[in-house]
Structure 1
Amino acid sequence: MANRKKRSLAKRKQPRGNPQKPHVSRDPRVAAKATLGDWIGAARLRTLPLAIAPVLIGTGAARLIDPSWHWALALACLAVAVSLQIGVNFANDYSDGVRGADDHRVGPARLTASRKAKPRTVLAVALGFFAIAAVAGAAITIRTQQWWMLGVGAVCIVAAWFYTGGKRPYGYYGLGEVFVFVFFGLVATLGTTWVQIGTLPQEAWFGAVGAGLLACAVLLANNLRDIPQDRAAGKRTLSVLIGPLPTQILFTLFVVAAFAISTFLAVLYPIAWLALLALLAGLPAIVIVWFHRDPRELVTALALTSLTALAYAGFLYWAFVG
């Protein structure tokens, strides 16, 4: 009875203008709902130059043979590349999130791992972008009557999904760079050229290799940052398998090799010398990769390398059509 009176007096003494604070859950599984900014961030816009670059190079190589502007086909190729890139980003967010591979990541938080969005919602968005890529690819096929390209498009989407999806994702076994080089280098560039002119000049091949090398460099910067977390999660990226120093060397070699290609092309197309201006972003990225003190600095290296790829592609396009 005495205890009840004490509690009653305590309630009466509490000031009305200073109510007790509500209990805040400390459950780490509880997170605020994703905002529009969170969704835009999950699309990883800093990687989109890697989708634009091969389309620029491929279109430039096509116009080298046929100066006429096949704008509808070029834009459709751009839609395929960008949609696949965003689709891969959301698919990675989903797959890595449900596996727990992103629970202790250093870079920007992911939607699934942070529990700001339901995994099935993130998956639906990824599939939606894959569907956009499929529709754009089907339009290209109908326009060109190259029906075998439907198979190529299907392989691209399947490869994008199994990069981190499925029971045995190949991105977890050191093959991520192979996927990036093949699909965001060779296939994207050569496919863009082929659908516009029906042939593949050597300039398209050189440009495709350059675009692929720079795209791989971006992935290496990303995976170099995440080596401790990926190793702990059982994600055996190439960087986890070979270690930090070989990753730094390989990153540098990829960037240098891409510019060696542009220098070779400059012998025939002098404007290609201007591609060296892209090193204004590329060289700082190399410096960060070698001398970073905080893994978060590699996010800047990733963004700089991505911008390097876009500038590189822009100058090669100018060299081919100028």
Structure 2
Amino acid sequence: MATASQWIEGARPRTLPAAISPVVAGTGAAAFADSVVWWRAVLCLVLALLLQIGVNFANDYSDGIRGTDDERVGPLRLVGSRVATAGSVKAAAFGCFAVGAAAGLVLAAATGWWLLLIGAAAIAAAWFYTGGSTPYGYRALGEVSVFVFFGLVAVIGTTYVQVEEVTWPSVAAAVGLGALICAILVANNLRDIPTDRESDKRTLAVVMGDRGTRMLFVALQVVALAVIGWLVAATPWTLLALVALAPGVRASLPVVRGATGMALIPTLRDTGLTALAYGIGLGIGLALG
């Protein structure tokens, strides 16, 4: 039986900035429109965190039963390391999805029932990333899904349930954060290129190769910086997001210097911190504006 600390590690807490930062930025965009509804923002955060943890457990389960994680280079995987049963990890994933869905149901009841369709699509995307007979994460589509659901849907959705309209600052923030959260996955898949090739997991990193993946990682950082320039048109306070520059540079250095394997673990941590600092900077900047 896995210990409590192993379950926490299996939940991959270093990925949680990908859930927190879009809600902060989206709420900042709602404040920019003078329409913050705090209880809805809190429910958005609960939903985002549970979906993130749920997808982490779902990936652990699906990759574990396929044997993809048998030769793991990165942090602990519960099923692949045999510290937890596949059934218990699958149950944890669906438990997170169920509680997250309850939060989404309340938001849909308060805003519009059509939001249930987006919620259902998000849960389906979380499961079928590595689950099912033809997981799209094995078909080089993981980054597309991350950009859509952790960028566009998470940020614009957080703003929408409070403002009840789509605002251009929320769209801009969604693009910038979507790029940075994609960069987390890109760094993860860059590290795993050798083992993913052996297990026939065809990620975008496997398709693009080592050099192309490193170039993509840097390009995503540049996109996020460019979005700050775009949002200055709304308010110069969004320059606060430049606080993400330091961890962003620190994350990029191992990538451009050719680090591999475990040497890329700090890049994952620092890219998550970059996304968190960026989201907080944009959120505060838009609120002040």
Alignment-derived partner of residue 83 in structure 1 = 50
Identity in percent: 51
Runs of 4+ in 1 over 3 A off after TM superposition: none
Q: Is residue 286 of structure 1 aligned with residue 252 of structure 2?
A: yes
CA contact (8 A) 2:172 2:230 kept: no
User: 2:108 is matched by which residue type in structure 1?
Assistant: T
Residues 280-301 of structure 1: CA distance to partner in whole angstroms, max 9, x if unpaired? 1000111111214441121110
- The within-5 A match list for 1:251-262 is 251-262=217-228
Gaps of 5+ in 2: none
Residues 69-125 of structure 1: CA distance to partner in whole angstroms, max 9, x if unpaired? 311100001111110000000000000000000111210120000110010000000
Question: Aligned partners of 1:66, 1:274: CA distance in 2, in Å?
Answer: 20
Alignment-derived partner of residue 312 in structure 1 = 278
- The within-5 A match list for 1:37-116 is 37-67=5-35, 69-116=36-83
- The within-5 A match list for 1:137-156 is 137-144=104-111, 146-156=112-122
Question: Aligned partners of 1:104, 1:140: CA distance in 2, in Å?
Answer: 41
Alignment-derived partner of residue 30 in structure 1 = none
Q: Which has the larger radius of gyration?
A: 1
Question: Aligned partners of 2:104, 2:233: CA distance in 1, in Å?
Answer: 35
Question: Aligned partners of 1:109, 1:207: CA distance in 2, in Å?
Answer: 32
Give TM-score scaled by structure 1 length.
0.88
Question: Aligned partners of 1:64, 1:267: CA distance in 2, in Å?
Answer: 13
Question: Aligned partners of 1:164, 1:235: CA distance in 2, in Å?
Answer: 10
User: 2:242 is matched by which residue type in structure 1?
Assistant: L
Report the alpha carbon displacement of residue 143 of structure 1 after superposing the two structures with TM.
Answer: 2.0
> Matched residue pairs, number?
288
Question: Aligned partners of 1:122, 1:304: CA distance in 2, in Å?
Answer: 27
Alignment-derived partner of residue 28 in structure 1 = none
Alignment-derived partner of residue 214 in structure 2 = 248
Aligned-CA RMSD value = 1.0
CA contact (8 A) 1:90 1:126 kept: yes
Question: Aligned partners of 1:259, 1:111: CA distance in 2, in Å?
Answer: 36
Report the alpha carbon displacement of residue 268 of structure 1 after superposing the two structures with TM.
Answer: 3.6
Residues 171-205 of structure 1: CA distance to partner in whole angstroms, max 9, x if unpaired? 00000000100000000111111110111111000
Question: Aligned partners of 1:113, 1:152: CA distance in 2, in Å?
Answer: 31
Report the alpha carbon displacement of residue 264 of structure 1 after superposing the two structures with TM.
Answer: 2.5
Gaps of 5+ in 1: 1-32
CA contact (8 A) 1:292 1:298 kept: no
CA contact (8 A) 1:220 1:251 kept: yes
Give TM-score scaled by structure 2 length.
0.97
